[in-house]
Structure 1
């Protein structure tokens, strides 16, 4: 919003609310941008979580020589920023993974372990000088809400197979989940063979992979449904819409169907659990964000499902222009944090949303008494 004061346009960037129309003027906070950075080509692949103490942790690729993906860039680092006040202010950029020139780390994703209080940050690694096109899968851990991180652990042999050594494989960026029984779950993509689930039943001490390929699918996200079933929402290239896979037997078998209403330009998306009756909330709610347009990465939209992903609302447009990858989290105060690529990757912005605004006042988040 702009207004004229003494002949000068003033930009109003605060989030305002109209009592009459419940209208929110979105405040896009630019967390990462290479516009005025002569040392970095671009920042890409956003991931965001809420730490056990409520701190927001936003991680991303710092792509130095070019905007190219892992196999095309010999200098990609993982950097992050943190917020202690639900996204109002943010720390300076901190580097958490930085290899010597010729080695790169890419595609951050995180899982918050609510049992131990740890945050696990996964990424894909490549040594372009010694093993070009060979992907390794690694994880680091923070036990103090993202302030410091452990040395990397290579889990490639635990969640992959020897015969996949030279396959195009990677951990999906964004986030994984922790199920109701404490199991950690995440998605691994092998573009030659399908999507695979990997997980840990001992809080990340050891890892395993489920030997059940899920197809079709590229970058995919998993949620646990209210009845304990698992649901994966997948990017499928050249289709123009998402595919949904469901399992009621802990991933041994899957039922797959397209969701033609979830239109998509072949892009990574985000799906998270917002509220759950079993956890004391008034309703079961899932949230889904993506570039809601076929053919072009634009029109960032957030939708809500009240029936565990069977149907979705039309959604609310967050940004109608160029937009691509996105990642969501639930803030401690019940607001929704959305972190997404904007304007052809020129900016990576954070925006805070409310359920009331998303539903035009028809639904309101009810805090615990």
Structure 2
């Protein structure tokens, strides 16, 4: 009997040893890519699992995952697993197992043959439309079961979590090919307003069939009213839509009157031309030669909009080849002066950046002098000493140009960080000043967002400066999305404790996220607020109010919201 037992034990040991040896021929790693998971996306990649085999023929039969997150069941509708072969990005062509509900531990069962080398699986989730934007989701892979044994993947991104965001605009939404160039602001009543290009036929810049669209939220970004066209030049003067494009919207709110202004550049004719190249726009004022600066206005919190008004003769010097808004939001000084970043082409056709200002609540506007030749899209913020900083997309090298004015743009001086502090891949950015008092002390920070890379529009990041832009410490950088996109971020405040950002990231044409100022961006020693502390978040240096209103609790009357303006107006730098 003892001899027989020894034989059985010896056989079991051989089987166990063989299983371990065969399993050793397989290794697995898991990694959670940095990007938000988005409401309205059918698939959101949570985790990449790479199983590496030394030879063909082995099979994966199941993968087990641990899911956790804030109110997981309230936010996630379902999870799925896909096999990608050797691809490095999510493909949904080959599902593995069935769609499963989001519980703490899920196991996908199936059978997938492996090839020698890397074999990639992706865990994906679909969010509920009611998912909470302040919550996050995490996933880890606990084991991979194969035909020859069990493998426990090595976690390459321990502790990683995905913020929840919204795919505000997606490729082909409402029949529009591409949405681009978003600019975000907050109205005097607390509504969020996001304007953007609606590029109807193709992703290309002007000249093309492009209108200016608006998405609007009255509940802090949780829900958004269906987008509406607010600037469309139709078939002006007999030319088709593709020769009447409007692009690059900029937006500003007069917080003293509540009026909202949206600017854009309009090209008439010139098929195949680009306003920033060659004779796509020319000196003078003539429609059809010079690209035109248009504005539309709203006096009812963005519900209805005026017909386009042409400002070209009032703002553009005749010798300049182009004058256009910078596609961002502007701000208002304490004395009511409106400050809007702008850009153009000078007498030699070279690009420049500046600001335009209004001292009479937008009735008239004055253009500043060029701050920097070779720059284009720009953002402005008021600094602690009352000067205005202009942060500029730089076409000369891969560092942002930074200039300062003390006379509303009539003269400019280079900032100490000019062309040496903030890296970029040549792309639009966003600047936001945050003022707050804490324990009786007045403080402010600058937030800056851009693709933080010199190689590509990737690593979409928010940085914080505590000294008016002199330094941007690495310790206070928040990576939102590591993947490639088109960039073009735009920041605004949502309420006393949150900011919003839209950007062209890796997961959607226009992505929206809601962030906590004091949990995500400002360090703990500066973040706790006492009962008597107030926060004032200033849009691009806004200096007008002691505090901002919270978003209205009820959705306002949307009567008239459906009006679409297609009437005619009065007679680069590549994005």
TM-score by length of 1: 0.89
Query: What's the offset of the Cα at 1:111?
Result: 0.7
Which of 414, 417, 429 is 1:256 aligned to? Answer: 414
In structure 2, C-alpha distance between the alignment counterparts of 1:211 and 1:358, rounded to whole Å: 34
Query: What's the offset of the Cα at 1:68?
Result: 1.4
Change (3 A) 1:57 1:159: same
The answer to whether residue 363 in structure 2 is matched with residue 197 in structure 1 is no
Which of 211, 215, 226 is 1:92 aligned to? Answer: 226
Change (3 A) 1:65 1:11: closer
Which of 449, 452, 464 is 1:292 aligned to? Answer: 452
Q: Residue 182 of structure 1 corresponds to which residue in structure 2? A: 336
In structure 2, C-alpha distance between the alignment counterparts of 1:288 and 1:92, rounded to whole Å: 29
Change (3 A) 1:343 1:17: closer
In structure 2, C-alpha distance between the alignment counterparts of 1:295 and 1:47, rounded to whole Å: 24
**In the alignment, is the contact (CA less than 8 A) between 1:16 and 1:23 conserved in 2?**
no
Gap regions ≥5 residues in structure 1: none
Gap regions ≥5 residues in structure 2: 1-45, 48-66, 68-99, 109-123, 138-158, 235-240, 272-286, 536-575
In structure 2, C-alpha distance between the alignment counterparts of 1:351 and 1:288, rounded to whole Å: 15
In structure 2, C-alpha distance between the alignment counterparts of 1:193 and 1:31, rounded to whole Å: 31
**In the alignment, is the contact (CA less than 8 A) between 1:216 and 1:243 conserved in 2?**
no
The answer to whether residue 166 in structure 2 is matched with residue 32 in structure 1 is no
The answer to whether residue 245 in structure 2 is matched with residue 104 in structure 1 is yes
Query: What's the offset of the Cα at 1:295?
Result: 2.1
Q: How does 1:139-218 map to 2 (within 5 A)?
A: 139-164=295-320, 167-191=321-345, 192=350, 194-218=352-376
**In the alignment, is the contact (CA less than 8 A) between 1:275 and 1:281 conserved in 2?**
no
CA RMSD of aligned residues (A): 2.7
Deviations 1:194-239 (A, max 9, x none): 2232111101111112235433421111111122111100010141
In structure 2, C-alpha distance between the alignment counterparts of 1:41 and 1:66, rounded to whole Å: 6
Query: What's the offset of the Cα at 1:179?
Result: 1.5
**Deviation larger for 214-223 or 87-96:** 214-223
Q: Residue 81 of structure 1 corresponds to which residue in structure 2? A: 215
In structure 1, C-alpha distance between the alignment counterparts of 2:502 and 2:337, rounded to whole Å: 26
Query: What's the offset of the Cα at 1:330?
Result: 0.5
Runs of 4+ in structure 1 over 3 Å off: 1-15, 22-25, 129-133, 211-216, 359-363
Change (3 A) 1:229 1:132: same
The answer to whether residue 509 in structure 2 is matched with residue 353 in structure 1 is no
Q: Residue 383 of structure 2 corresponds to which residue in structure 1? A: 225
Which of 317, 328, 337 is 2:500 aligned to? Answer: 337
Query: What's the offset of the Cα at 1:248?
Result: 2.6
Q: Which has the higher helix share?
A: 2
Query: What's the offset of the Cα at 1:359?
Result: 4.2
Which of 155, 175, 178 is 1:42 aligned to? Answer: 178
In structure 2, C-alpha distance between the alignment counterparts of 1:210 and 1:36, rounded to whole Å: 38
SS at match of 1:87: coil
Query: What's the offset of the Cα at 1:78?
Result: 0.8
Change (3 A) 1:193 1:319: closer
SS at match of 1:92: strand
Q: Residue 265 of structure 2 corresponds to which residue in structure 1? A: 124
Query: What's the offset of the Cα at 1:76?
Result: 0.6
Q: How does 1:58-77 map to 2 (within 5 A)?
A: 58-70=194-206, 72-73=207-208, 75-77=209-211
Q: How does 1:238-257 map to 2 (within 5 A)?
A: 238-257=396-415
Change (3 A) 1:178 1:36: closer
Deviations 1:109-132 (A, max 9, x none): 111111111111111111126955
Aligned residue pairs, count: 360
SS at match of 1:163: coil
Change (3 A) 1:81 1:281: farther
Change (3 A) 1:66 1:267: same
Q: Residue 491 of structure 2 corresponds to which residue in structure 1? A: 328
Q: How does 1:9-20 map to 2 (within 5 A)?
A: 10-11=125-126, 14=132, 15-16=134-135
Max radius of gyration: which structure? 2
TM-score by length of 2: 0.58
Change (3 A) 1:125 1:25: same
SS at match of 1:298: coil
Query: What's the offset of the Cα at 1:105?
Result: 1.1
Query: What's the offset of the Cα at 1:307?
Result: 1.1
SS at match of 1:316: strand
SS at match of 1:357: helix
In structure 2, C-alpha distance between the alignment counterparts of 1:16 and 1:213, rounded to whole Å: 42
The answer to whether residue 477 in structure 2 is matched with residue 312 in structure 1 is no
Change (3 A) 1:10 1:320: closer
Which of 498, 521, 534 is 1:368 aligned to? Answer: 534
Which of 397, 422, 429 is 1:269 aligned to? Answer: 429
